[in-house]
Amino acid sequence: MARKTIVPKNAAVRVLADLVIVNAALFSALLLNNCFILLVGRPSNTILRPFLGSFWALSIIGIAVFALMGFYTRGRAYASHYKALVVLQASALAFLLFGFAEFVIPWVGRIGRPALVLSWGLTAAGLLLARLWAVVWGHVNRIEMSGATSETNFSLSTPSKTILLIGGAGYIGSSLLPRLLNSNYVVRLLDVFLYGSEPIQEWINHPNLQIVKADFRRVDVVVQAMQGINAVVHLGAIVGDPACALDEELTVETNLLATRMIAEVTKGQGIKRFIFASTCSVYGASDEYLDEKSKLNPVSLYARSKIACENMLLAMMSTDFQPVILRFGTIYGLSGRTRFDLVVNLLSAKAIVDGLITVYGSDQWRPFLHVNDAALAVYLACRASDGAVAETIFNVGSDEQNYTLGDVGRLIQSMVPDAELQFFEKDVDRRNYRVNFDRIRRSLRFHPEWTLEMGVQQVLGAITSGRVTNYKDPRYSNVRFLSEEIGPASLRIAQQRWIQEVLRHSSQAEVALGG
147 confidence band (pLDDT: 50, 70, 90): very low
91 confidence band (pLDDT: 50, 70, 90): confident
How is the beta sheet containing 231-234 ordered, strand by strand? 209-213, 186-191, 162-166, 231-234, 273-279, 322-328, 393-396
Alpha carbon dihedral 84, 85, 87, 93, in 10-degree steps, equals: 170
Say if residues 372 and 330 touch (Cβ distance below 8 Å): no
**From the CB of residue 378, how many other CB atoms can be counted at a distance below 10 Å?**
26
pLDDT of 381 over the 50 cut: yes
User: In this structure, which amino acid lies at residue 185?
Assistant: Y
pLDDT digits (tens, 9 = 90+) for 37-56: 656 555 555 565 666 667 76
- CA 441 to chain CA centroid, Å, is 27
Distance, in Å, from the CA atom of 473 to the CA atom of 468, rounded to the nearest integer, reads 10
Look at residue 131 in the predicted model and tell me its pLDDT: 74
Higher-pLDDT residue of 102 and 262 is: 262
Distance, in Å, from the CA atom of 467 to the CA atom of 463, rounded to the nearest integer, reads 6
pLDDT of 477 over the 70 cut: no
Look at residue 254 in the predicted model and tell me its pLDDT: 67
Among 115-129, 140-154, 398-412, the range scoring the smallest mean pLDDT is: 140-154
Say if residues 436 and 291 touch (Cβ distance below 8 Å): yes
For residue 162, give Cα distances in angstroms to 149, 211, 261, 262. 19, 13, 21, 17
- Supply the mean pLDDT for the chain: 79
Q: Which of the given ranges, 146-150, 210-214, 471-475, has the highest pLDDT on average?
A: 210-214
Work out the burial of residue 55: count CB atoms within 10 Å of its CB; fewer than 13 is exposed, 13-18 middle, 19 or more buried. Answer: middle
- Closest listed residue to residue 172, CA positions, set 329, 354, 403: 329
**DSSP class per residue in 286-351:** EEEEE-TTSPP---SHHHHHHHHHHHHHHHH-BTTBEEEEEEE-EEES--SS--SSSHHHHHHHHH
Among 48-52, 61-65, 153-157, 398-402, the range scoring the smallest mean pLDDT is: 153-157
Look at residue 151 in the predicted model and tell me its pLDDT: 39
Alpha carbon dihedral 71, 75, 80, 82, in 10-degree steps, equals: -50
Look at residue 209 in the predicted model and tell me its pLDDT: 95
pLDDT digits (tens, 9 = 90+) for 159-176: 348 999 999 998 999 999
pLDDT of 245 over the 60 cut: no
Distance, in Å, from the CA atom of 357 to the CA atom of 505, rounded to the nearest integer, reads 50
**From the CB of residue 508, how many other CB atoms can be counted at a distance below 10 Å?**
19
Look at residue 291 in the predicted model and tell me its pLDDT: 95
Q: What is the DSSP code (8-state) at residue 4?
A: P
Alpha carbon dihedral 57, 59, 62, 65, in 10-degree steps, equals: -80
Look at residue 399 in the predicted model and tell me its pLDDT: 95
pLDDT of 351 over the 80 cut: yes
Higher-pLDDT residue of 316 and 487 is: 316
pLDDT digits (tens, 9 = 90+) for 405-461: 999 999 999 999 999 999 987 766 778 999 999 999 999 999 999 999 999 999 999
Look at residue 60 in the predicted model and tell me its pLDDT: 84
User: b or e along 213-242 (b: 16 or more beta carbons within 10 Å of the residue's beta carbon)?
Assistant: bbbbbbbbbbbbbbbbbbbbbbbbbbbbbe
Q: Which domains does the chain have, with CATH numbers?
A: 11-147 (no CATH), 153-512 (3.40.50.720)
Distance, in Å, from the CA atom of 309 to the CA atom of 325, rounded to the nearest integer, reads 10
- Closest listed residue to residue 164, CA positions, set 191, 192, 193, 131: 191
pLDDT digits (tens, 9 = 90+) for 385-402: 999 999 999 999 999 999
3-state secondary structure 52-108: HHHHHHHHHHHHHHHHHCCCCCCCCCCCCCCHHHHHHHHHHHHHHHHHHHHHHCCCC
pLDDT of 26 over the 50 cut: yes
Angle at 334 between CA 331 and CA 339, to 5 degrees: 70
Mean pLDDT of 76-91: 65
